[in-house]
Amino acid sequence: MQKEWKDTPALLLIDIQKGMDEVDFYGGERNNPEAESNAALILDYWRQNNWPLFHVKHCSVVPGSPLTEGLPGNDLKDEVKPRDGEPVITKQVNSAFIGTDLKQQLDAKNIRTLVILGLTAEHCVSTTTRMAANFGFTTVVVPDATASFRSKMLNGQSIPAQTVHEISLATLNREFAEMVPTRDILQSRLAERG
Amino acid sequence: MQKEWKDTPALLLIDIQKGMDEVDFYGGERNNPEAESNAALILDYWRQNNWPLFHVKHCSVVPGSPLTEGLPGNDLKDEVKPRDGEPVITKQVNSAFIGTDLKQQLDAKNIRTLVILGLTAEHCVSTTTRMAANFGFTTVVVPDATASFRSKMLNGQSIPAQTVHEISLATLNREFAEMVPTRDILQSRLAERG
Q: What are the pLDDT digits (tens) for B57-83?
A: 999 999 999 999 999 999 999 999 999
Task: Establish if B98 touches chain A: CB-CB under 8 angstroms.
Answer: yes
Alpha-carbon distance A26 to nearest alpha carbon in chain B (angstroms): 11
Asked if B177 and B135 touch (Cβ cutoff 8 Å), the reply is no
Class of domain B13-188: alpha beta
Question: What separation in angstroms does the CA of A58 have from each of A95, A124, A145, A148?
Answer: 10, 9, 18, 16
Q: What is the pLDDT of residue A163?
A: 97
> What's the pLDDT score for residue A193?
73
Judging contacts by C-beta atoms under 8 Å, the chain B residues touching residue A98 are 131, 134-135
Q: How many residues does chain B have?
A: 194
Instruction: Give pTM, 2 decimals.
Output: 0.97
Q: Which CATH superfamily is domain A4-186 in?
A: Isochorismatase-like (3.40.50.850)
Q: Pick from B188, B4, B9, B32: which is nearest to B115 by CA?
A: B9
Size of interface A-B (CB pairs under 8 A): 91
Residues of chain A with pLDDT under 50: none
Q: How far is B130 from chain A (nearest CA, A)?
A: 7
Q: Does pLDDT of B173 surpass 90?
A: yes
Query: Mean pLDDT, to the nearest integer, of B124-143?
Result: 98
Task: Report residue B2's pLDDT band, with 50, 70 and 90 as the boundaries.
Answer: confident
Residue B36 sits at the chain A interface (C-beta within 8 Å): no
Q: Hey, is the C-beta of A134 within 8 angstroms of any chain B C-beta? A: yes
Residue B194's pLDDT is what? 61
Is the model's pLDDT at B160 over the cut of 70? Answer: yes
Q: What pLDDT score was predicted for residue A127?
A: 98
What is residue B1's predicted lDDT score, i.e. its pLDDT? 67
Distance of CA A129 to the CA centre of its chain: 8
Chain B residue with CA closest to A150: the answer is: B171
pLDDT at residue B120 greater than cutoff 70: yes
Please tell me the distance from the alpha carbon of residue B104 to that of residue B167, in angstroms, as a whole number.
Answer: 31
Give residue A74's pLDDT: 98
Q: Is the pLDDT of residue B41 over 80?
A: yes
Question: How far, rounded to the nearest angstrom, does the alpha carbon of residue A168 sit from its chain's CA centroid?
Answer: 13
Q: Please answer yes or no on whether A93 and B134 come within 8 Å at the CB atom.
A: yes
Phi, psi of B43 (to 5 degrees): -60, -45
Q: What is the pLDDT of residue A1?
A: 66
Residue A118 makes CB contacts below 8 A (sequence gap 6+) with A12, A13, A14, A15, A16, A35, A39, A56, A124, A125, A145, A146
Does the CB of B178 have a partner CB in chain A at under 8 Å? no
C-beta atoms of A166 and B179 within 8 A: no
Give pLDDT tens digits for B11-38.
Answer: 999 999 999 999 999 999 999 999 999 9
Residue B193 confidence class, pLDDT cut points 50, 70, 90: confident
Give the per-residue pLDDT at A194.
61
Assess B59–A contact: CB distance below 8 Å, yes or no: no
